Structure 1
Amino acid sequence: MAFGPAFLFSLEGRVCIQGEGSAESARETPRRLSREQLSVLISAASMNLGSMMCYSILGPFFPKEAEKKGASNTIIGMIFGCYALFELLASLVFGKYLVHIGTKFMFVAGMFVSGGVTILFGVLDQVPEGPTFIAMCFLVRVMDAVSFAAAITASSSILAKAFPNNVATVLGSLEIFSGLGLVLGPPLGGFLYQSFGYEVPFIILGCIVLLMVPLNMCILPSYESDPGEHSFWKLITLPKIGLIAFVITSLSACFGFLDPTLSLFVLEKFNLPAGYVGLVFLGLALSYAISSPLFGLLSDKMPHLRKWLLVLGNLITAGCYMLLGPVPVLHIKSQLWLLVLALVVSGISAGMSVIPTFPEILSCAYENGFEEGLSTLGLVSGLFSAMWSVGAFIGPTLGGFLLEKIGFEWAAAIQGLWALISGLAMGLFYLLEHSRRRRRSKPQNILSSEEERTVLLPNEI
């Protein structure tokens, strides 16, 4: 895998040779971040933190306010669910036309619109109740989804361009800021709502995001590239990438499944005060945020382990979801400590599986003739965001339906079964791929030994 004509990488990405320098200098890798890389990290971290806070701030109080305005529970669920659906569609479009629009413009414009629509959400309580309020909620939520899709697609592409050798490490490290956004959003929003009313949380958070826009306009570097010839269809129809996309969707659905189901189960089963339910979710978010950088570093240092991290993470996630209830066939009594432990381990296993997927897709794309540059990075970023959005839409929708029909224990087990199938399918593919490579290498070895004999025999005679 190579990034640019001046760099040649070994298969495991450990050796880097630049130009015609000495062997000693060629083995050295820069230990300090360049100014450009540091700027990219600051921009991406600010976007992850701000966007995740904007996304999660609705949870504590918006459903209650929407009910006052005449929205039913079904409509409220659709307002939440439409975010993932439109993020999916927008990610595919922005990934395809990233080079045409420009990475920096897409990133900055996405943050600007996100801050603006967050403020608009804060004035929706002034809109007349009924269909007008509901229509405005859908419109603002869709705009927020499109703006986030633009920012995250551009961010992933810029990161992969700035850190070609450490994609997994950087993406994993930035998940800390995504986790912080998800963790800080609900309590901060709830506190501001309780203290100052409905408008203030959205206005304050929207203004914070808008203040990040001029900062990113100044520090974010611009990258330019020519449009590529390849399409999403060619990318997703590659068998390996199709299976990885299935893995991403299943893991995203596992996260999304818990949103409408876990709090109801915990309140009913363990009679916890409502304030303690957030602490249960905290175990999942923190374990994922903390473990992601570690698995990113391991994935970059030992690329040959990526595939097995991906497979093992899915299998562990499946086991954790079997234990959330637990599933009745195990005949294990439901206990709060077991539920929290399963969530913590599930967060770690999710980091183990999610982080290697981006570099795996990128590596497979280059192996199959995709050109190296922003065009391919945009396709991969858009595909990753789109598949994550599919799971984020299916998980809560299917989870709410299964919870109503068969209860949390069986619903969680079915969700875990999805992760189990994707993990086993991915593992089987890797085993078949390994066996094919061994078969191809055998004829080459036989041929090379025969050539050596032909050269050596005349000398022996």
Structure 2
Amino acid sequence: MCHSVSDPRRLPTVKNNSLLKGDGSPGSVREIPRRLSREQIFVLISAASINFSSMMCYSILGPFFPTEAEKKGVSNTVTGMIFGCYALFDLLASLVFGKYLVHIGAKFMFVAGLLVSGGVTILFGVLDQVPEGPVFIAMCFLVRITDAVSFSAAITASSSILAKAFPNNVATVLGCLEIFSGLGLVLGPPLGGFLYQSFGYEVPFIFLGCIVLLMVPLNMCILPNYESDPGKHSFWKLITLPKVALISFVITSLSSCFGFLDPTLSLFVLEKFNLPAGYVGLVFLGLALSYAISSPLVGLLSDKVPRLRKWLLVFGSLITAGCYMLLGPAPVLHIKSQLWLLVLILVINGISVGMSSIPTFLEVLSCAYENGFEEGLSTMGLVSGLFGAVWSVGDFIGPTLGGFLYEKLGFEWAATLQGLWALTSGLVLGLFYLLEHSRRRRRSKLQNILSIEEERTALLPGEM
């Protein structure tokens, strides 16, 4: 049975919510029911399914596709481009889908994205039958790009629906759902590798594609259908807001840090510590698990103590910068590289990235409302699309630049330079928040003085 929740009276307001604005004013938060409604549970199930499946489809290629591509005569450079084009087209699609979310319909965009993604995932499994050379390369690009666009549609719609369904607990819900993203990243490579070794190239993609397709009828029935009027504002107005631009810079630096590890960390671990190839994945496990476990806690803290969000963003970036300078570690620190230290730093890095990434959606959304953006699904779509776009920018730059710096300078210096990017973004955003706080204090003092002067002026005739 499909549900419609277009009646605005059934939805708590977000615009004047102190959890969103962080003003801490009493009485501005509506009473939140302790129990989730049925439609909220359905939204959570839908969002969890897309988070899990998208990360599985994204990460399943890693263990075996480069080897298969090499058999088809594809160079390492072109293979890297096949991987990298996902982030590039995810960027472009996020902007388009975020802008036209209301026109297309959030539920339709979600379900259609799932349907197309399941189909092209299965299609990826038959590419080994395609003739080698330019035809194989062209088909790989076409399927990978279509997969990126389809999942971008589903993820953009999912984030907007979540913000609409949980207006008072956005960060908590987003943080909890990152558990499923982390599980997808953790389980994707080993599951793909096992199925590949046991059954060949086709089975991992067919298996995963069928699971995604099974989610289509499920979500058609249980996902609520939110409706909203088209908004008048654009991405350009949103991204040119100074606070939003700086937060976008932070998001890009964080995703670049994550992406940097894909082509570099495994090579460094194999070379430095002589670990068997099977143990390299366990090194990545510390990063993924710490991120997945800490994200719900960070989300809960962001919702319960809104004024902490900005400082979670700043200190998360600064801690991330310190982690990357210690990954090698940086040659200037003269610290010996040890495996236990590397794993510990990755665990801390997973927590710090959660600190910085989870509060960003609410921070951008509150800034948009403060600057006149209309409340509703259209603005949530813009924010969701913007987040996906700027994350994809870093996801594209990180592996590309990281691979180049690793080859030219070595892992130690490459990681250090990556850390400097996170350090710069954290310091600049922290300085902006301090200046903003100072301006607000001066404005508050000025308003108090003016109110006192008005009271004196009103009392003067009576005194005379």
Q: TM-score, normalised by structure 2?
A: 0.95
Deviation (angstroms), 1:449: 1.8
What residue number does 2:240 align with? 237
Q: Is the 8 A contact 1:13 1:165 kept in 2?
A: no
**Residues 362, 448 of structure 1: alpha-carbon distance in 2 compared, 3 angstrom cutoff:** same
Residue in structure 2 matched with residue 198 of structure 1 by the alignment: 201
| Contact 2:52–2:180 under 8 Å retained in 1 | yes
Matched, 1:209 2:215: no
Counterpart CA distance in 2 for 1:367 and 1:426 is: 18
TM-aligned CA deviation for residue 28 of structure 1: 3.6
The CA distance in 1 between the partners of 2:13 and 2:398, in whole Å, is 43
**Are 2:223 and 1:220 aligned?**
yes
Q: Is 1:12 the counterpart of 2:22 in the alignment?
A: yes
Q: CA deviation at 1:450?
A: 2.4
Q: Tell me by how many angstroms 1:165 deviates.
A: 1.1
Deviates more, 1:79-88 or 1:442-451: 442-451
Q: Kindly provide the amino acid, as one letter, of the partner of residue 43 in structure 2.
A: V
Q: Corresponding residue for 2:4?
A: none
Query: Is the counterpart of residue 373 in structure 1 residue 376 in structure 2?
Result: yes
**Structure 1 residue 409 corresponds to structure 2 residue 417:** no
The answer to whether structure 1 residue 110 and structure 2 residue 113 are counterparts is yes
Instruction: Name the aligned partner's letter for residue 90 of structure 2.
Output: E
Say if 2:136 is the partner of 1:133.
yes
Q: What amino acid does structure 1 have at the position aligned with 2:440? A: R
Partner in structure 1 of residue 260 of structure 2: 257
1:120-168, Cα deviation, whole Å (9 max, x unpaired): 0110011111111111000000000000110010000000011111111
Separation in structure 2 between the aligned mates of residue 319 and residue 7 of structure 1, nearest angstrom: 36
In structure 1, the residue corresponding to 2:455 is in which secondary structure? helix
Tell me the secondary structure at the aligned position of residue 296 of structure 1.
helix
Aligned mates of 2:131, 2:446 — CA distance in 1: 75
Tell me the residue number matched to 1:182: 185
Other-structure match for 1:149: 152
Within a 5 Å distance, the mapping from 1:29-428 to structure 2 comes to 29-428=32-431
Classify the secondary structure of the residue corresponding to 2:287.
Answer: helix
Amino acid in structure 1 at the alignment position of 2:219: N
Aligned AA (2:196): Y
Q: 1:139 to 1:85 in 2, by over 3 A?
A: same
- Offset, 1:274: 0.3
Q: Root-mean-square deviation (CA), in Å?
A: 1.7
Partner SS state of residue 384, structure 2: helix
Q: In the TM superposition, what is the alpha-carbon distance from 1:441 to its structure 2 partner?
A: 1.2
Amino acid paired to 2:446: P
Amino acid at match of 1:387: V
1:83–1:145 contact (8 Å) kept in structure 2: yes
Give the residue type in structure 2 aligned to 1:12.
Answer: G
Q: Once the 2 structures are TM-superposed, how far is the Cα of residue 13 of structure 1 from its aligned partner?
A: 7.0
Do the aligned residues in 2 keep the contact of 1:121 with 1:202 (CA within 8 Å)? Answer: yes
| In structure 2, distance between residues paired with 1:127 and 1:241 | 45
Contact 2:291 2:354 in 1 (8 A): yes
AA matched with 1:199? E
Deviation at 1:306, TM superposition (A): 0.4
1:188 Cα offset (Å): 0.5
Q: Report the CA distance between 1:256 and its aligned residue.
A: 0.1
How far apart are 1:17 and its partner, in Å?
6.3
Q: Is the 2:115–2:216 Cα contact (8 Å) retained in structure 1?
A: yes
Residue deviations 1:344-374, cap 9 Å, x none? 0000000000001100000000000000011
**How far apart, in 1, do the equivalents of 2:458 and 2:95 lie?**
56
Does structure 2 retain, via aligned residues, the 8 Å contact 1:7–1:17? no
Which is worse superposed, 162-171 or 409-418? 162-171
Contact 1:7-1:16 at 8 Å conserved across structures: no
Distance 1:231 1:7, change over 3 A: closer
Classify the secondary structure of the residue corresponding to 1:316. helix
Would you say the 8 A contact 1:9–1:17 is kept in 2? no
* Inter-CA distance 28–233: structure 2 relative to 1 (3 Å threshold): closer
Structure 1 position 191, deviation (Å): 0.5
Contact 1:91 1:150 in 2 (8 A): yes
Cα contact 1:4–1:372 (8 A) shared by 2: no
- Rounded Cα–Cα distance in structure 1 between residues aligned with 2:155 and 2:14: 29
Give the 3 Å change call, closer, same or farther, for CA 207–85 of structure 1 in structure 2: same
2: CA distance between counterparts of 1:191 and 1:108?
A: 29
CA distance in 2, matches of 1:371, 1:446: 32
| Paired residue secondary structure (1:99) | helix
Q: Which runs of 5+ in 1 are unaligned?
A: 19-25
What residue in structure 2 maps to residue 23 of structure 1?
none
Other structure's SS at 2:79 match:
helix
Offset from partner CA, 1:222-245 (integer Å, 9 cap, x none):
011111110100000010000000
Shift of 1:457: 6.0
2:453 is aligned, of 423, 443, 450, to 450
C-alpha change, 1:49 and 1:13, in structure 2 (3 Å) is farther
Q: Is 1:441 paired with 2:444?
A: yes
Instruction: Give the total of aligned pairs.
Output: 452
Matched residues, percent identical?
84
Cα distance in 2 between the residues matched to 1:204 and 1:419: 38
Of the structure 1 ranges 5-14 and 162-171, higher mean CA displacement relative to structure 2 is found in: 5-14
How far apart in 2 are the matches of 1:8 and 1:255? 35
Structure 1 Cα separation of the partners of residues 372 and 140 of structure 2:
44
Match of 2:3 in 1: none
Q: Distance in 2 between matches of 1:454 and 1:229?
A: 43
Alpha-carbon shift at residue 438 of structure 1 (Å): 1.2
Question: C-alpha displacement at 1:453, in angstroms?
Answer: 3.4
Q: Which residue of 2 aligns with 1:22?
A: none
Q: Is the partner of 1:161 in helix, strand or coil?
A: helix
- Quick one: distance in 1 between partners of 2:25 and 2:389? 33
